[in-house]
Amino acid sequence: MKTLKPIFDAIETSAHRIREAITNEDLCYSQECNATGDMQLKLDIQSDLIIAEEFSKITAIKEIASEEKEESETLHEEGRYCIAYDPLDGSSLIDVDLSVGTIYGIYDREFQPQNMIAAVYVVHGPRLEMVTAYKGGIRHYIFRHGRFMEQETVSLGDKGKLNAPGGTQQYWPQHHKKLIDSLFAEGYRLRYSGGMVPDLHQILLKGGGLFSYPGTEDKPNGKLRKLFEVYPFAYVYETAGGEAIDDKGRRLLDTRCDDPHETTPCFFGSKYEISKVK
């Protein structure tokens, strides 16, 4: 397999360009909705264009799929890698100045989790950070003094302290409410910003906990998209020593994705919390 270096470089360049855009552009909504029906900010569209432009320069990339677009796009027929990305996850948090992020899943030839070979996310918070999961290792970078500097490696402990429960409580199934309450009764602390990237980043960096987004009365298949959000974080969490499952207790990376915008209930955490979910 060829090195993914040019792809990681393009992700880094995109991170800087998106950071620029977040800092300088206005936050108005466009007149468009994305493929999942969310209103698009101009910044969502701009971030998507930036990434597509950077990836189009790399001949090893065969196909890209963006959360902002209905269909995937072939870039280079002779390429090998397929990349699915969410350009600006949680973008509605920008107007209150909370952290947002970009998520990438990199696949060998086909968008199925069994073909995933790397996952990357970028956190646009007070600092610019990046985490990569590749070849069995997690790398954590912080942008300082003009470059991404690698930090000490991160891993999930067997048991954490944080609880990040997504979705509208009113619509949670009873068994889910019981699970979440039982974690709080054990002393877990609530940490939920409503941005998947910072919420999962926090649990990862602070050694463990549970992030959950169940199937709910209003969203029986959950809200989070397999290709753009769930699989990349499942890959990161497993590489870091944690687990990621759906509401049937199946390993998310063993499931299939039949539509780029398919969603799934999902649970990410360290071993102890995932055993409680099961």
Chain contacts with ligand F6P (rule: CB under 6 A): 89-90, 166-167, 194-196, 223-224
CB of 150 to ligand F6P, least distance (A): 26
Strands (E), the chain: 29-33, 39-41, 61-66, 73-74, 81-89, 100-108, 116-124, 128-134, 137-144, 147-150, 162-165, 189-190, 209-213, 243-245, 266-269
Judged by CB, which is closer to ligand F6P: 12, or 86? 86
Least distance CB 223 / ligand F6P (angstroms): 6
Q: Which residues have C-beta within 8 Å of that of residue 86, sequence separation ≥ 6?
A: 66, 67, 102, 103, 225, 228, 229
Q: How far is the CB of 99 from ligand F6P (least distance, A)?
A: 10
Which CB atom, from 80 or from 191, has the smaller least distance to ligand F6P? 191
Name which of 3 and 170 has its Cβ closer to ligand F6P: 170
Nearest approach, Cβ of 152 to ligand F6P (angstroms)?
26
Token pair belonging to 148: 């991404």
Nearer to ligand F6P, 167 or 265 (CB): 167
Q: Which two tokens stand for residue 231?
A: 């699989």
Query: For residues 79 and 195, which CB has a smaller minimum distance to ligand F6P in the complex?
Result: 195
Backbone torsions φ then ψ of 114, nearest 5 degrees: -65, -20
Locate 72 and state its tokens: 């995937």
Least distance (Å) between residue 224 CB and ligand F6P: 6
